[in-house]
Amino acid sequence: MHAFISHNHRDKPDVKPLAARLRLLGADVWLDSWEIHPGDSIPGKVNEALGLLDTVIVFWSANSSTSAWGEHRVGVALSRRLRDNSVRVIPIVLDDTPLPPLLEPIMWVSLADGDVDRAARELMGVESQAQLLKLMQQTVEESGLAYRYFEGFGVMVGCPRCGAPSSKLDGWSALDHRRDDTYAGVRCGGCGWEEGGEI
- Mean of all residue pLDDT scores within the chain: 88
> What global pTM score does this model have?
0.76
Q: Give the type of residue at 107.
A: M
Q: Is the pLDDT of residue 69 over 70?
A: no
Cα(1)–Cα(133) distance, rounded to whole angstroms?
A: 19
| Region of 172 on the Ramachandran plot (φ > 0 left; ψ -120 to 50 alpha; else beta) | beta
Cα(109)–Cα(59) distance, rounded to whole angstroms?
A: 9
Q: Produce one character per residue of 113-151: b if its CB has 16 or more CB atoms within 10 Å, e if not.
A: eeebebbbbbbbebeeeeebeebbeeeeeeeeeeebebb
Comparing C-alpha atoms, which of 54, 45, 61 is closest to residue 103? 61
Over range 29-51, report the average pLDDT. Answer: 86
Question: In the β-sheet with 169-176, what is the strand arrangement from edge to edge?
Answer: 169-176, 181-188, 194-198
Question: By the 8 A CB rule, do 175 and 182 touch?
Answer: yes
Cα(4)–Cα(149) distance, rounded to whole angstroms?
A: 32
Comparing C-alpha atoms, which of 28, 32, 1 is closest to residue 15? 32
Cα(29)–Cα(72) distance, rounded to whole angstroms?
A: 20
CATH 3.40.50.10140 domain extents, the chain: 2-143
- Check residue 52 and give its pLDDT: 78
Q: For 91-130, how does the pLDDT look when each residue is reduced to its tens digit (9 = 90+)?
A: 999 999 999 888 888 899 999 999 999 999 999 999 999 9
Portion of the chain with pLDDT greater than 70, in percent: 91
Q: For 160-186, how does the pLDDT look when each residue is reduced to its tens digit (9 = 90+)?
A: 999 999 999 999 999 988 888 999 999
Q: Is the pLDDT of residue 155 over 60?
A: yes
Class of domain 2-143 (CATH, top level): alpha beta
